[in-house]
Structure 1
Amino acid sequence: MNQRVTIDASRAILIPARHGIAARLRAGQSVSVLNTYGKQVVDTWAFNASDMTEFMSMEHSRAAMLRLTPQIGDTLVTNRRRAILTVVADTTPGVHDTLIAACDIHRYRQLGAVGHHDSCTDNLAAALDALGLAAPETPAPLNLFMNVPVADDGTLRFQPPVSEPGQYITLRADMDLVIVFSACPQDMVPVNDMKPTDAHFLIT
């Protein structure tokens, strides 16, 4: 069932374009991730608040959900196969990604970037550091709003998000956790429609 929540934009927390932010959620709380301008991917990670070596795992979640993209009612699980986040609402067309690794310095060098380029991998580390935490590795993220269609022959394509301004997805915490969001800075392939922008989130 799509348990929609009312988004109070005045209380929403900014995820600055090209940057990341981390927050703590207690079990039972929900977080709504708002695609403020409609075409922004938000890389998302979740870690067990008491043990950072346990984290939301896309490969384990696909096995648990038996689908590539989470839908309302689906539960994402950790690398220890325990429930960590459940999708309770989604006002977007439901197009998200669980396949693509977070962008990093190596990806941008391969794409031809010269010098520093913001990345979701660096954003994860910086956001956690602001809470005095560190991840043991960079897990594959839940790429909210990311549009990577899988063709019948198994090939993938990077396409702009199909979400519209103000649409959101709501996730319920199934354990005490630390959640991290990165407003993806990718501007060399069209996953953000080539224009990275701000996004917002709201904890309820």
Structure 2
Amino acid sequence: MDDVHPIAEVLSKASGGDFPAVDGGWQRVAPWRDGVEGVVAFTGHAYLAVDDDVSDGTLGSLGPDGFGGASNPRLVSRLAGDGWIDALDIVLVARGLGGEPALVPRSDLRNHPRAEHATSVRSEVATFGYAAPDDRTLVTLSTGLGGMLEVGVETDPAKHHVGTDVVRDALTLVDEGAVVVAACAPGNARALRAFLGAGFEPVASVQLWRPER
């Protein structure tokens, strides 16, 4: 059995209400995906997933801490170098509903911008949607944050789907009781309300980058 990544372990515990100590501390962990690094911050404790070409001394000199320092834009910019930096997102967790899937595989949506974005930072991305071929509503399931199952959703503006319903339908693709994560920009209030309405709970923040140091 493969080892569970520390980020997956702590997020899984958080889904059950067991959070890291609020001690202002931070921990260094290995990246969970080649070419992608990031910081996952909880209340009063943070995790930095950074490759070993950055020494412990250099990392510590950047001033990370569990009270916001690990997510400081200057720190993130220094570690990313000339590479791409993602937005700071809220991390939400939920549990799968299982049962009869409400969505079907949609390989024709592989070129959807959200699917392409998921492929750039996650692995084993699968695309799903509704059966009607003219419905561009997209749900992605992938190996994402910390190697956990991660879901992404975008509704088709030409259809009249309720976002909460789409997110809830996405949870039917996940085994009953299995933990799934999602990342949502704080300013995307419509999407955030949809995830919260479908039973997701916020537990942390995450910011990813693809370093070019």
TM-score by length of 2: 0.30
Higher relative contact order (CA 8 A, sep 6+): 1
More helix by share: 2
Largest Rg, 1 or 2: 2
TM-score by length of 1: 0.30
